[in-house]
Amino acid sequence: PSNGHACVGCVVVVSVIEQLAQVHNSTVRASMERLCSYLPEKLFLKSTCYSVVRVFGPDIIKLLSADMNADVVCHTLQFCQQDPGQAFCHLYPLPKETWKSTLEKARQIVKKSPTLKYSRSG
Amino acid sequence: SDICSLPFLAKICEKIKSTLKNSVPFRDVDSDKYSVSPTLRGYHWRGRDCNDSNKMAYPGRRPDNWDVHQDSNCNGIWGVDPKDGIPYEKKFCEGSEPRGIILLGDSAGAHFHIPPEWITASQMSLKSFIDLPSALTDELNWPQLSGATGFLNSTSGLKENSIYLHLRNRNRCNHRDYQNLAKNGASSQNLERIIESLSRNPRSDHPAIVIYAMIGNDVCNGKIDPVPKMTTPEQFYSKVMETLKYLNSHLPNGSHVILYGLPDGTFLWDHLHNRYHPLGQLNEDVTYERFYTFLGCLQVSSCHGWMSSNKTLRALTSERAEQLSNILKKIAISKKFTNLDLLYVDFDLQAVMKKWQKRGGQPWQLIEPVDGFHPNEVALLLMADGLWDKMQLQWPQVLGKENPFNPQIEQVFGDQGGH
């Protein structure tokens, strides 16, 4: 599938954000800020992190707050895609209701998001 | 999105791309393939240059006029003993048979490692990502801690040494004479470009011990059906012979090539599949089986053949690995070269596991936790120690002599300029 690595990267990062919020009992926003604050400034790592949070943060907050998991978030933000004829790739156990309806609901949540107007840039 | 399209970054991007493609140091003023900076193929990968404005001063060369006036081979030994006017390099190193270590390998040999604290929320802190810039500019490899050329103290507290440190302890004249030419994704089939980054002059340099350790990518790929893309024994034989001919024409006489066989990677599934991956430890929801399935589904698995729930596929992968190992065995026994001799050694994960279990360790503790595939630092050092023991016992001629002047070298030159 195209962009398998982007999908793995997204699921790992969103998982870490979700688990930081869980471990510190904080909001998703605070968890993203915390993660960026841990990164060194070298190689623009910290500033790149804050830029990514600015672009994708609002959608990630909405989706995680609606109890969507990292698989759903990354498919909704199109870092993961199920190519035609390909299996659906997911790291976590599937949600109780069907994957299709979960994804549809998630897409409704971010429907008005300016982010998804951009092509899914790396 | 492509930061390299910015005009003022185009040149530096070009240089970095060239460094990554050709596996040569990014910063190398005298273009002798040795550097004074650590990452981007610098001294984490090859002995540190002691004079980056003189291309005739580099690790591993025979001394220029016994290094009376300068340290031409970067082993920290130079000058003249005032007591008798004899150059130190002549007094301490002449006849001691110095030699270097060169690794031709893949991500295992480069010591690919993603620290688990980078993805474990419960352990994460300001300190977690301190090494991230250095690791990124070394392509997520840590050759400075690898089994073949590592020169830093082990982070896992093991007392075992890398092959390079063993060689240095045996003869301090070998100081800084190491080259880690391993590369992520390297296999017998794509070695041409990497091997050109090897730095050795048959006339002016000391002999070398070359370790050929392509231990996975000839049978590992991310395809849903990985078998068709595996290297065939015929392809393997052809490329290995091509590599050996290249080495024979580029290495000083008296060099040695150690051909490492491929491992039986069923070890991974057997000891990891039902354990939790770092991402799954908080909520006990992601096992390595699930992690492998996810990577396999996306076709980005490091080795779908072994990282698979399909027992038949795992066995097929090991079968091909064994076929390729047998090719290496046959080559080592039957092929002769003018400047080098060939030795074969098994990549014996079981032996490493037994050694580790004797110390109370568990097999799963020998594998990188984040990628669930690469041998970790413990495994690499135990493997190196096993190879060193084997060479000492069976092939002492490979190692050169123990230098009786080591204590004097240490007394006069201390750490010889370090690494």
- Read off the pLDDT of residues B26-57 as tens digits, 9 standing for 90 and up: 999 999 999 999 999 999 999 999 999 999 99
Structure tokens at B298: 């996306």
* Nearest by CB: B125 against A15, A38, A91: A38
Q: Which residue of A has its CA nearest to B223?
A: A1
List, edge to edge, every strand of the sheet that includes B208-213. B178-180, B100-105, B208-213, B255-260, B340-345
Q: Work out the percent of chain B whose per-residue pLDDT is above 90.
A: 94
**Residue A33 exposed, middle or buried by CB count within 10 Å (0-12, 13-18, 19+):** middle
- The rounded distance, in Å, linking the Cα atoms of B326 and B307 is 23
CB contact under 8 A, A122 and B132: no
- Reported as a pLDDT band with limits 50, 70 and 90, residue A2 is low
- Nearest Cα of chain B lies from the Cα of A89 at a distance, in angstroms, of 5
Identify the pLDDT of residue A119.
47
**How many beta-carbon pairs under 8 angstroms link A with B?**
80
Identify the pLDDT of residue B17.
81
CB contact under 8 A, B133 and A7: no
Q: What pLDDT digit, counting tens, does each position of B404-414 carry?
A: 999 999 999 99
Q: Which chain B residues have any C-beta within 8 angstroms of a chain A C-beta?
A: 1, 119, 121-122, 124-126, 128-130, 132-133, 136-137, 222, 279, 282-283, 285-286, 290-291, 294-295, 297-300
- Nearest Cα of chain B lies from the Cα of A22 at a distance, in angstroms, of 9
Per the prediction, chain B carries an average pLDDT of 96
Structure tokens at B356: 């580790």
Structure tokens at B228: 């068709």
- Reported as a pLDDT band with limits 50, 70 and 90, residue B1 is low
- The rounded distance, in Å, linking the Cα atoms of A109 and A76 is 10
Neighbours of B160 (CB within 10 A): 21
ipTM (interface pTM): 0.94
Lowest mean pLDDT across A73-87, B54-68, B182-196? A73-87
- The rounded distance, in Å, linking the Cα atoms of B255 and B339 is 6
Could you tell me the CA-to-CA distances from B194 to B143, B184, B190, B243, B334 in Å, in that order? 16, 11, 8, 11, 26
Q: How far apart are the first and last CA of chain A?
A: 15
Identify the pLDDT of residue B169.
97
Identify the pLDDT of residue A117.
54
Higher pLDDT, A34 or B193: A34
Q: Which residues of B are catalytic?
A: 107
Could you tell me the CA-to-CA distances from A9 to A3, A63, B8 in Å, in that order? 10, 18, 29
Which residues on A lie below 8 Å from B291 (Cβ)? 91
For B209-237, what is the mean pLDDT? 97
Which residues on A lie below 8 Å from B125 (Cβ)? 38
- Nearest Cα of chain A lies from the Cα of B381 at a distance, in angstroms, of 29
For B138-167, what is the mean pLDDT? 96
Identify the pLDDT of residue A118.
47
CB–CB of B286/B241 below 8 Å?
Answer: no
For B13-33, what is the mean pLDDT? 87
CB–CB of B198/B179 below 8 Å?
Answer: yes
**Residue B418 exposed, middle or buried by CB count within 10 Å (0-12, 13-18, 19+):** exposed
- The rounded distance, in Å, linking the Cα atoms of B258 and B241 is 14
Which residues on B lie below 8 Å from A7 (Cβ)? 298
SS3 of A48, please? Answer: helix
* Nearest by CB: B300 against A8, A45, A88: A8
